[in-house]
Amino acid sequence: ETGVTQSPTHLIKTRGQQVTLRCSSQSGHNTVSWYQQALGQGPQFIFQYYREEENGRGNFPPRFSGLQFPNYSSELNVNALELDDSALYLCASSNSGNQETQYFGPGTRLLVL
Amino acid sequence: QKEVEQNSGPLSVPEGAIASLNCTYSDRGSQSFFWYRQYSGKSPELIMFIYSNGDKEDGRFTAQLNKASQYVSLLIRDSQPSDSATYLCAADTGRRALTFGSGTRLQVQP
């Protein structure tokens, strides 16, 4: 078990709604990255937060947004949900973006109907 | 062309055999490579990483990197049924994130 936690574990929403997913990073880690994993695919990078600032972004539209708080926990917000947003959302924390120290949380499974 | 490619499998090996998982990447700027294991319904867990050409061993696992051929592999010796999972190869391309392949499903037959 890593020290990264995510909530909720599962979520069902309808198309057009908004959702907020939460992540608490491992103690000592100041960087949080969010990934989307569709069924049968590898995780795809959404964005990264370092010291409360967005520090890199993948190929996702602006309706995917995030926050990082002073305690390094983070939120992922998705507006105007689409059916294709159904996926496992993974949060990973690391020390200053060092991939060797990156640990994934258990994920939030989102289903959009 | 995907940046990191893996055969989706399933790769089926008998218990006790060596499982060989392969991965190719397209970005020559990639500096480091990671292997993750993902059990069904769970999140990925890091097995090992490799930066330099050659082999790196950790217990039953050996990662191999050939930058000239843009090829990474993972060998699992003495495969156990508990090794049955999807193995994800990932490259750090310097864009503050890992680029993952789609994973290879490994089945170890008792």
pLDDT in tens, A72-93: 999 999 999 999 999 999 999 9
Is A89 within 8 Å of A36 (Cβ atoms)?
A: yes
Q: Does an H or E element contain B19, and which?
A: strand B19-25
CA distance B97 to A35: 9
Sign of CA dihedral A109, A1, B32, B23: negative
Which of A30, A54, A102 to probe by mutation at the B interface, max B CB count within 10 Å?
A102
CA distance A16 to A6: 23
Per-residue pLDDT at A54 exceeds 70? yes
- Per run of 10 residues, the mean pLDDT along chain B (length 110 residues) is 88 97 93 95 94 95 96 97 98 84 97
* Partners of A10 in beta bridges: A109
Contacts of B4 in chain A (CB under 8 A): 42
Amino acid at A67: L
Q: What is the pLDDT of residue A46?
A: 96
Q: What is the pLDDT of residue B91?
A: 94
Confidence of residue A41 (pLDDT cuts 50, 70, 90): very high
CA count, 13 A, side-chain hemisphere, A103? 18
Which pair of structure tokens corresponds to residue B62?
A: 């050996």
List Cβ neighbours of B110 (8 Å cut-off, separation of 6 or more): B15, B81
Reduced to 3 states (helix: H, G, I; strand: E, B; else coil), residue A21 is strand
Q: What is the pLDDT of residue B95?
A: 67
Q: What is the pLDDT of residue A102?
A: 85
Chain A from 22 to 61: CB within 8 A of any B CB: 33, 40-45, 48, 55-56, 58
CA distance A44 to B52: 25
CA distance A52 to chain B (A): 15
Answer yes or no: do A99 and B49 touch at CB < 8 A. yes
The β-bridge relationship of strands B11-14 and B4-5 is unpaired
Contacts of A45 in chain B (CB under 8 A): 95, 97-99
pLDDT tens, position by position, B22-54: 999 999 988 899 999 999 999 999 999 999 999
Answer yes or no: do B102 and A99 touch at CB < 8 A. no
Per-residue pLDDT at A1 exceeds 70? no
